[in-house]
Chains A and B, each alone.
Chain A
Amino acid sequence: MLESLTLGEALAGIERGDFSADEVTAALDARIDSLDPHLNAYVHRAPAGAGAAAGIAPAGGPLCGLPFTLKDNMNLRGTPTGCASRILASYESPYDCTAAARLLAAGGRYLGKTNMDEFGMGSSNEYSAHGPVRNPWDLARAPGGSSGGAAAAVAADLALFALGSDTGGSIRQPAALCGVVGAKPTYGRVSRYGLVAFASSLDQIGPLAKDVADAARVLELIMGPDPRDATSLDAPVPRLLAAARKSARGLRVGLPEGLAVLGLDDAVAAAWEAAAAALAAQGAERVAVSLPRLRHATAAYYLLATAEASSNLARYDGVRYGLRAAGAADLDALYRRSRAEGFGPEVRRRIMLGTFALSRGYYEEYYLRAQKLRTLLARDFDQAWERCDCLLLPTTPGPAFRLGERLDDPLAMYLGDVFTLPVNLAGLPAVSVPTAVHAGLPLGMQVVGRPLDEVTVFRAAAALERAFPFRETRRRAVAAALDAGDAP
Chain B
Amino acid sequence: MELGEDVVRHVESLARLELTGDEREAMRRDLQRILDYVAELAALDLADVPPFAETRPGGGVLREDAARPSLPASAALDGAPAAAAGHFVVPPAIAAAEDGDA
Contact = CB atoms under 8 A, between A and B. Distances in A.
Contacts of A348: 17, 19, 27
A58 interface: no
A406 interface: no
A214 B94 CA distance: 56
Given A202-B55, A227-B63, A328-B91, A336 B17 contact: yes
Interface string B74-93: 01101111100000101111
A182 B48 CA distance: 37
A356 B11 contact: yes
Nearest to A200: B55
Interface string B28-68: 00110110011011101010011111011111111100000
Nearest to A310: B15
A226 B94 CA distance: 42
A329 to B, nearest CB: 5
Interface stretch (A107-115, A249-257, A316-324, A438-446): A316-324
B22 to A, nearest CB: 12
Contact of B11 (A202, A333, A355): A355
Q: Which 7 A-B pairs have the closest CB atoms?
A: A330-B95, A451-B57, A321-B79, A324-B81, A371-B51, A227-B63, A374-B52
B25 interface: no
Contacts, number: 199
Given A322-B81, A324-B81, A330-B92, 19 more contacts: A232-B61, A233-B57, A234-B58, A234-B60, A302-B34, A321-B79, A322-B79, A328-B99, A336-B18, A351-B17, A365-B42, A370-B38, A374-B52, A375-B49, A375-B52, A376-B46, A378-B52, A427-B55, A427-B57
Contacts of A187: 55-57
A349 B55 contact: no
B56 A188 contact: yes
16 contacts: A232-B61, A314-B16, A324-B82, A329-B92, A330-B91, A333-B102, A334-B91, A336-B17, A339-B17, A340-B17, A340-B18, A359-B11, A369-B44, A411-B37, A425-B52, A451-B58
B18 to A, nearest CB: 4
Nearest to A334: B91
B15 A329 contact: no
A233 B56 contact: yes
A299 B81 contact: no
Nearest to B95: A330
Interface string A332-344: 1111110110010
Nearest to A321: B79
Residue with the greatest number of chain B CB neighbours at <10 A, chosen from A95, A328, A355, A359: A355
Contacts of B61: 225-227, 229-230, 232-234
- Tell me the interface secondary structure of chain B in the complex: loop
A441 B97 CA distance: 58
Interface in B1-22: 7-8, 10-12, 14-19
A339 B16 CA distance: 7
Nearest to A228: B63
A468 interface: no
A140 to B, nearest CB: 25
Contacts of B82: 324
Contact of B31 (A91, A349, A359, A451): A349
A90 B75 CA distance: 14
Contacts of B80: 319-321
A175 B34 CA distance: 27
Contacts of A451: 57-58
Nearest to B51: A371
A40 interface: no
A288 interface: no
A372 B102 CA distance: 37
B12 to A, nearest CB: 7
B79 A91 contact: yes
B86 to A, nearest CB: 13
A401 to B, nearest CB: 19
Contact of A372 (B7, B12, B30, B50): B50
A80 B61 CA distance: 30
